[in-house]
Chain A
Amino acid sequence: QSVLTQPPSASGTPGQRVTISCSGSSSNIESNNVYWYQQLPETAPKLLIYRNTQRPSGVPDRFSGSKSGTSASLAIRGLRSEDEADYYCAAWDDSLPGVVFGGGTKVTVL
Chain B
Amino acid sequence: EVQLVESGGGLVQPGGSLRLSCVASGFTFSNYEVNWVRQAPGKGLEWVSYISNRGGTMYYSDSVKGRFTMSRDYAKNSLNLQMNSLRAEDTAVYYCVRGDYGEGDVWGKGTTVTVSS
Residues of A76-101 at the interface with B, using a CB-CB cut-off of 8 Å, are: 86, 88, 90-92, 96-101
Name which of A35, A98, A100, A102 has the most chain B CB atoms within 10 A of its CB.
Answer: A98
Which residue of chain A is the closest to B47 with respect to CB atoms? A99
B44 pairs with A35, CB closer than 8 A: no
Q: Size range of the interface on A?
A: 20 to 34
A102–B104 contact, CB under 8 A?
Answer: no
Q: Is A35's CB under 8 angstroms from B103's CB?
A: yes
Interface readout for B13-37 with A: 1 if CB under 8 Å, 0 if not?
A: 0000000000000000000000101
Per a CB cutoff under 8 Å, which of B46, B47, B105, B108 touches A44?
B108
> What is the distance, in angstroms, from A87's C-beta to the closest C-beta of chain B?
11
Which residues of the partner chain B approach A37 to less than 8 Å between Cβ atoms?
45, 104
**Given A46-B107, A98-B47, 9 more pairs with CB closer than 8 A:** A34-B102, A44-B107, A47-B105, A90-B45, A90-B102, A98-B60, A100-B102, A101-B45, A101-B47
